[in-house]
Structure formats: C-alpha cells, structure tokens
Amino acid sequence: MDQINNILASFNQQDELNPKVWTNPEEPKDSKMKPKVKNALLKIADKFSENLSEDLKVEDIILTGSLANYNWSNYSDFDLHLVIDFKQFGKQAELYKELFSLKKQLFNQNHDIKIFGYEVELYAQDSEESHFSTGVYSVKNDEWITAPSKEKSQIDREVFKTKINSWKEKIENLIKNIKKDGIKSSEKQIDSLKEKLKDYRKSGLEKEGEYSYENLVFKYLRRSKLIEKLYNTIVKQTDKELSVETRKIE
C-alpha cells in the first residue's frame, strides 16, 4: 500500500473510541477518561503551564482531536489544550499570545512525551478562540464538553488525491526555491503559503467540520511529514546563510 492510501486509510472511522483511553468506548455519552490517562495528562498540563508563566490562570484543560473521537489511528496524538483567558494580561494580551506560541513550539520540540505510544501535543488556547471539533473532553472537570458521534462522511479518494497533490506541489516547489534562491528571496512565498494553508483548513472546518476535504488535506500534509520537511528546510537554510565556513589557512 503506497503512502497516500496508507494515510487515507487512517481517516476511516472506528467502531468505538480508543479503548486504551476511555471506559465504555462504545458509548461516548457514558464513557469517562481512564484515571491513569487523566492523571498523566493533568501532570503534563501542569508542567506546560509552569513553563508558560508562573501563576497562570487556566480556565480548563481539554482533549480534542482524533483521540477524543472515532477517527483515531496510529497517527493520532493527545491534542491537549490549556484554555486561557488572555484578557488577564490586559494590554499585553497579544504579546503573551506570541510568547506562548513560541514556548509551545519549544516545549513540543524539546519533549518526547508519550502515553501508550501516542505523542502528547500541547497548545495554549484563547478561551475566546473558535474551536471546531465534534469531540471535546474536559480533562480538568472529567466530563464531555462535546461528546462525539459518528458522522456520515463520503470521501471521494480521487478528489482527495487531486487536492493533496496540488498542495504537495506548492510545498515541494517552495522547498526547491528556498534551497536555490535562499530565505530572503523566499520570505513572501513562505508567509503567503503559511497563511493560505491556515485559512484553507479553517474554512473547511467552519463549513463542513473535521471531515471536510480541507481539514483532511491538512492532516495528510502533517502526517506525511511534508509540513515538517518545509520547516526543517527553512531552519537549515537559515542556519546555512548565517554561518561562516571555516577554511584552512594556507
């Protein structure tokens, strides 16, 4: 099975929630997060909160994404969000959003935390931020905010592959341009592609939810490591351009 078909298969809905994470996985409304998983996530969230800021007021700690839904697979991770009212920082709210975003990236990069083999990805979410998911669980309060239900989804694989290949071509061409022309000449292209991809996914979630082509394409690009490859290329090229080669003194 080639990579596209393998990743496509990971989007299929399961018959139940992940039994390693949930009690009564067949009936989400009656299910609870297993205590071992809940306690582990709360400890991780506490460590992440300390890393963000001392005395940070966290409104909720939520699990969202595929492990809080029927579309879990080997590619899943624990998508753990700390819900924060950024108004607590007053006029510096936007500055703190940028700071927390950078700290989140560093925390996720510097830690390899796993529960039952699934990575834990952390995020600082503004309490006023729109969040589109059919499965949201409050780890803090140990209850469903939005219990998942099976959705009828008809994915046309040929349409899906066409959309995937369109984005793959954009990203791979950008990677080539970065390597050929350097970071400075590619900055506008990089910023433009990031913004387009963000808006692309957001529009799909708003219109058709988690099974929109736009969201599934984004997940494919992430699961296939293509987005990671782009960011790694940006970092490596930047390092290369900032470095001075050591030459043998004759």
**Distance from C-alpha of 224 to C-alpha of 219, rounded to nearest angstrom:** 8
SS3 assignment, position 118? strand
Give the residues across from 53 on adjacent strands: none
User: pLDDT, tens digit, for every residue of 40-94?
Assistant: 999 999 999 999 988 889 999 999 988 999 989 888 999 999 999 999 899 999 9
Distance of CA 113 to the CA centre of its chain: 15
**Whether 45 contacts 62, CB under 8 Å:** no
Q: What is the pLDDT of residue 153?
A: 67
Q: What is the pLDDT of residue 54?
A: 81
Type of residue found at 222:
R
Distance of CA 60 to the CA centre of its chain: 18
**Distance from C-alpha of 66 to C-alpha of 58, rounded to nearest angstrom:** 23
pLDDT > 70 in the chain, percent: 94
Residue ranges of E strands in 127-191: 136-138, 143-146
Q: pTM for the whole thing?
A: 0.74
